[in-house]
Structure 1
């Protein structure tokens, strides 16, 4: 909302916010206007918010009439003013005098009010209406007053074992001994719907039995209502079914995002579900579609030729007819399902590509709660894409496999199994097809994705058969089968290379596959490596060149798996540091079973990554300096093990942040089209809400091969990625904000200048003219969005010396002599 200062008097500032007004103290540290739920504009009506600082000024009451007259009333367009000053209505003399002096109607709260968005300015003790020359009168508890407000109780009411108490969205039903709701609680955060009164249950993860809640709800007037269930066992199908059955009518359940974290709080795709008395559920309305998808109707999306039906249990992706059986699976608070295809109909690469595009755009909390169910039958192209043999002429029908129940968390009980003789909800049982971990199609931590275009073959892990699917809790990725490394195939879009030294063979379990390059879908990641046959077919036996980067004096770093001999040398050289880092690696492997590698040397590779990101021997500053100078560093064998360890980690596909504290880069280094080469490895942050002290330049990079380390180093202050040595970066643009956009309250601000880069794929050709191609423009658009989000963040300062050094060295220590040697095609080698 646009703002401008109109008047200042006695240390108070009256600042227009569209049709409304903010009154604050001139030196107030933080303007509260950005957090207020400003009411919708109404002709002749204005809302005035008085900040906490201004409310504490003794001169406020004296200055208020003149400030309001000059900023609102003098023009004659305003006939009523609602003043957001807690307790103003309790002093009827002041409010009445204000109405008489200004000649307009005044609305004032009799106590406090909730000003956050969606709360409809809810005042527990109500708003009072003062007219010039008339006595005051009640004016409702919300603004605007919804039609159902008069039907809801004005104060707490006990009904049997439940208590009904007012909240902004309607009422909260809780146990009589449970804590009452208060501002700041999740029950107060449920937004008001002017069309329906909302009945909120599950506050603090506690909820009475369905029959108790049903008895309380039955006492309420029959006005249009919705049930809003906060994270608790009331979200289970068994609880909702029992509630509707006892209430003896269908119930509309609103899926409102609630405060909290974890899979039990994941926001479902269905925003409204009807729970029927017979136990079935029906989706009435869906949330906005994920990025890249378009809305098809109220309960569905579309991606090219693929249709996504929002069903209670998740999403049903199809290219053919809808499968009625899919809609019978109920909502599960512990996870959701992507149903692929229709029973008996073929599933082609187009459907797999759409599933990958969907999962790749979701928040990790949502993605981690997903599982995949193959409802249709893979056609030959899809089998070829996923590395499966062609289907036999006569295929058996796999036995149904259920997704494992999600683990019980505080306030989130598993659905109770019916006791002997107890009626089971009719919709609780459906036939399921093979269930697949979502890691087969998306980079859910920490497994890379299947990626490909329709009809393009490539190596990939086989889909698990129905009798071979492990029972994996929903709070951790499904583990790979034995002999399947978790690493991605080298750098994005490359085939994994063969070992460079036949004299030092890798373990058999680490044999490198050789196959056809798999085309990438934008925003997706390469498929995981799978072991190759000992003797690949002749057609696939053409030599694959190792990716070798050399810019002159620096060490030649080869992108390949480490050998057993290199791992042994590194283990010996690291000594006690190896044992200390091994504890970190073991903790990560225990947390993420999918990181467990088949070959014994996997831990050595991961330890090399931990030492690189540590503070002792083999740290980033030491190793990068050694690489640039042409040596391998203090720890023998660390470089190949580091490269191999990075290859085992998931690729990051979002903007990466780095910063500078050394002034602006030379103009030639950030000229659009310039290509910068970093001889050493490079570290960046995936968190865009961080900054280092005294930073004067942001660098945002759209990565191609950066590997995420947060799964390996759990609980770090900053989530980091590492770029391979020799990575090239193309300058796309420099963005500078106007000084007026800096925060006026003295809080930490982002640097005004940001340089935007795209990491180039290995071997990618760059135009000598420096023009930006379509890949550059696509990355630039995403980086601009990321920069805009960053500049709206509340920043946290990171001052850990090791993190600070990794985020501000190498790429941003610009050297004038290096920049001056830029070649005709703007290629610059960066070094410290």
Structure 2
């Protein structure tokens, strides 16, 4: 007798078939359900039965022998057309499943390899396996799909990885995962495989490994896969930035919905957004109401009389219609904004109490990333509650930059009877300055009597106070949370706050405004305001020393040229110092939102430049493109143009297009350096106010533009300014088709006066056409970090550059020039180079600075 004959026959009674609705679980008798209770059972399909073999029993080799009798007894019945057997690898060898199909007289589906039984995975059996195989009675097997039930969109999705355009799209349960070609493929244990399936639309998952393909490459891949509705599911923050999403839909040419889940530092109230191809955003789905609140609409919550509107950027709390400006602010993956009130409407204590209740109900991460922003005005009751010294703004409204396309939303329904408010908290800190409307105040100044604080903010540990805040110590006996104003003068104005800043509580004395302002400084107890890390802000230097009185003409040195000129406008404050760093995601997001339609128009120019110039494609990301767009706007004649930006930098004010200045500085640093002479001009009989002796230094706070083309002039020019650059960046790659090739000096550039040349009158000119002015001022730009000569004399490097500029000037004076009449070009080439800080701009021992005026 052989071993096979001695082996006992398998007994089907050792197995149990448990019913789970229309499905069956096969397990060994005596074994508990174990992990089987966590199975994501698929929705039932008429005429189909799903049979899952318990993961603990799947390795049992005796199952194959008893499987026919188990299926006949517990599964196959009238009305059953097909059976799907969940046994990993059963379909790889067709012998057994084909025999089962022939015996049972039903279609049988078996997986080629492993499959997923997690909730929402739709029994996915695809990549790296081949999916489900379909075995039909007495017919050859065929491909049976990747999922069960088969979604309506599955035929449009690839069954294996494809790489049509610089990125790879590989199948995952929810649709496809798009990655860079150099990144590893996703596996069943990765987050991309955990995204649940939506039977109505495929999902495009991005950001699995942290390296996100560009929006253009992602759009190219998606365009070749599906033409119907789809949902983008970012797993990291970058593809959730407005700059990335706006460019993705622009390339795709249609709207998409976007899930805001993923690795974010907080839980957004807007769970699904619609990113429109025109750059706008809308809320499609919202989170369940916070504890204590009730849902009063698809995207609104209610607490008594207070309505919380879910908008892309966060929540709007108020008692009336929502704020259109808040509607248009885009989603930010780094934090959310709590808009308190709407412009022109009073804020009651009910709103403050609702804000307190809301923040108390949130988890710590969501509460910590909140950016409360005061939009409305405190009503009389709120003023009375917070004390006589309460204020609602710290400065007048700023001009509004172009808005994004408006999103209309229905007004909230009529409110139920009011709920009496409890003791109201002081207003939370304000968010960074928005794109439109009044700038939010840094906080509310409360009176001497302590009042409840917003719990979500006041419980944080306070970081060390910055050096320029100079907080005074509270008198003995005062409550710990209070501080009275001391005799110290107020600190300088705080720099603009980055959109990604947290909201700690700092003791800060507010800045005094002009005497006519209703926001004049008063004794304060505590000021809660947002702060940002130093590297994310535009900071202002210490105030410059008082300007010297203009010298009498008779006292001026005889070698100076003096032409009457209108003085530069007196700056409103210290000029901005632009940090030498790349722009942040938050700055790029704010800039894209504030630029509105102009962003999309400039983006087309940037994309054309990237396609034309390979050197610009070394880093092709949405952030880089946002930086280049900022440069395009600077070179344009609309909002964000050179005159407007430089006026803001010189006077220490915010640019009208929020976030443009750091993006502009970052974008210029990405462009190639220009190493030859640059031309600027003066005109209008006021060309040269004062150019002191050679060696004088001038520091320009703004971004100075000049012409690379030396054969041009502007109407009425009577002064040439030739500069040998060190930091100037060539912008011609971003100005294809323009009449002029330009270079832009980085903000804060220093220029050393080399000479003033006056050409002799030559009678009738031999040049056929316009000629250069007779007077020319020659300068050398000092390299960043280069020490200035302490003597103020010209050194060897100065003399070498002067010789080069003299040759350039001589050639220019023998050349017929073409006249530029574009107003924006004329403005960029002739706006004055102004003195900034005399203490550092003047050569040692002279106390003078050179100032070239237009």
Q: TM-score, normalised by structure 2?
A: 0.47
